[in-house]
Chains A and B, each alone.
Chain A
Amino acid sequence: MIVAVAGLVVAAALPKVGVPTFYVSLLTQTFIYAIVAMSLDVLVGFTGLVNFSQAAFFGVAAYGAAIAATRFHVASFGGGMALGIATAVVTAAIFGLIALRAEGTGFIIITIALNQIAWGLAYQWVSVSNGDNGITGLTRPPLFGLDLSGNTTYYYVCLGALLVALLFLGALVRSPFGLVLQGLRETPRRMRALGYDVWLYRYLALLVSAAVAGFAGVLYAWYNQFVGPVDLALDLSTQFLIIVILGGIGTLYGQLLGALIVVFLSNGLSAITQRWELILGAIYFVIVLYAPDGLVGLGRRIAQRAQGRRGSLAPTEPLLAASGVALTAAEIDEP
Chain B
Amino acid sequence: MSAACLSLRGVAKRFGSLAVLEDVTFEVGSGERRGILGPNGAGKTTLFNIIAGEMRCSRGSVEVLGRDVTGMRAHQRARLGVARTFQTTTLFPKLSVADNVVLALQAASRERFQCFVPKTRYAARYDEAMALLERVGLRARANAPVDALGYGEKRQVEILLALAQKPKLLLLDEPTAGLAPGDTALVTEMLKREERTTTMVLIEHDMSVMFDVVDRLTVLHHGRVVADGTLDEVRADRNVQDVYLGGTL
Contacts and interface: CB of A to CB of B under 8 A. Distances in A.
A117 interface: no
B243 to A, nearest CB: 30
A285 interface: no
B74 A175 contact: no
Contact of A186 (B79, B93, B107, B118): B93
Contacts of A198: 75
Given A174-B119, A175-B119, A182 B78 contact: no
Given A179-B99, A195-B78, A195-B107, A190 B91 contact: yes
A176 B90 contact: no
Contacts, number: 100
A177 B78 contact: no
Interface string B110-133: 011111111110100000000000
Nearest to A179: B119
A163 to B, nearest CB: 16
13 contacts: A174-B118, A175-B114, A175-B115, A176-B111, A179-B119, A182-B92, A183-B92, A189-B54, A190-B161, A194-B104, A194-B165, A195-B108, A196-B107
B95 A175 contact: no
Chain B interface size, as a band, is: 35 or more
Given A177-B113, A198-B75, A193 B119 contact: no
A172 interface: yes
A110 B37 CA distance: 43
Interface string B63-98: 000000000011100110001101000111111000
Contacts of A195: 75, 78-79, 107-108, 165
What are the 9 tightest A-B residue pairs by CB atom distance, in nearest-first order? Answer: A195-B78, A177-B115, A186-B92, A192-B74, A195-B107, A194-B107, A175-B115, A176-B111, A190-B90
Chain A interface size, as a band, is: 20 to 34
A196 B84 CA distance: 14
Contacts of B54: 189, 192-193
A197 interface: yes
Nearest to A195: B78
A183 B122 CA distance: 18
A171 interface: yes
Interface string A159-195: 0000000000001101111111011001101111111
A192 B86 CA distance: 12
B102 interface: yes
Interface in A184-229: 186-187, 189-198, 208
A175 B78 contact: no
A226 to B, nearest CB: 34
B52 interface: yes
A210 B122 CA distance: 28
A187 B111 CA distance: 20
Contact of B122 (A176, A186, A192, A193): A176
Nearest to A194: B107
Contact of A193 (B78, B113, B114, B118): B78
B25 interface: no
Contacts of B74: 192-193
A132 B118 CA distance: 45
A186 B54 CA distance: 18
B121 to A, nearest CB: 9
A193 B83 contact: yes
B165 to A, nearest CB: 6
B103 A180 contact: yes
Nearest to A168: B116
